[in-house]
Amino acid sequence: MRTIGVFDSGVGGVSVLKEVLRKFPADNIIYFGDSLHAPYGEKEIDEIRSLCLKVSDFLVYEKKVDALVIACNTATGAAMDTMQKRYGIPVVGVVENGAAEGVKYTHNKNIGVIATPATIKMDLYKKSIAKIDSSIKTYSVKCPLFVGMIEKGWEDTLENDELIKSYLNEFSVEIDTLILGCTH
């Protein structure tokens, strides 16, 4: 029986955790939500990497996990390569799967990405999508105000609808696929 560590910059990774539990029902799963340092999405890349390494060191060296799943887009971009080199275990993130799904569903080859400022700054989805299909154009919008909206507990309100519409109106072309990269 393996032990798989799943971590996120908060509690948003619970959706990833559910999928890990579904795919690996016989394994031990440890979930670490770093709410103390959330949100990661507005921090500098070096600080995010440092936070990720503290969490992953704990999971690898203290909890003895056999694999790590980074359930955070921002953390995937900031630290996955470093973590893959640092530990002798599988380390996977969430960006490649999101990019692959976006590529699968686009018809006009214009994909929109809404995410944290850090995720957009690293061009994570643009790079991942280009590896799959270089003819696809990726357009990104930073959504820093999603943090407050999500932290207050998602509610279907006029104010939230207007915030979402304001971000979506920033796309200068017609996209037919939208990737919600991350909120924190």
- Residue 143 is part of a domain; what is its CATH number? 3.40.50.1860
Domain encompassing residue 55: 3-92
Looking at residue 1, what is its pLDDT? 87
Which tens digit of pLDDT belongs to each residue from 35-80? Answer: 889 888 889 999 999 999 999 999 999 999 999 999 999 999 999 9
* Residues 93-110 pLDDT 10s: 999 999 999 999 999 999
- CA 89: distance to chain centroid? 20
Predicted confidence at residue 130, as pLDDT, reads: 98
137 and 161 co-located in one domain: yes
Task: For residue range 119-178, list pLDDT tens digits in order.
Answer: 999 999 999 999 999 999 999 999 988 877 776 666 788 888 999 999 999 999 999 999
52 is catalytic: no
pLDDT at 184: 66
In the set 48, 51, 71, 182, the catalytic residue is 182
Same domain, 131 and 102: yes
Please identify which of the residues 17, 52, 60, 72 carries the catalytic annotation.
72
41 and 64, same domain (yes or no): yes
Q: Are residues 125 and 71 in the same domain?
A: no
Q: Do 48 and 75 contact (CB within 8 A), yes or no?
A: yes
**Averaged pLDDT, 111-122:** 93
Please tell me the predicted confidence (pLDDT) of residue 9.
86
Domain count, the chain: 2
89-98 burial, b for 16+ CB within 10 Å, e for fewer? bebbbbbbeb
Pair 165, 100 in one domain = yes
Question: Could you tell me if 86 and 120 lie in one domain?
Answer: no
Catalytic residue list contains 143: no
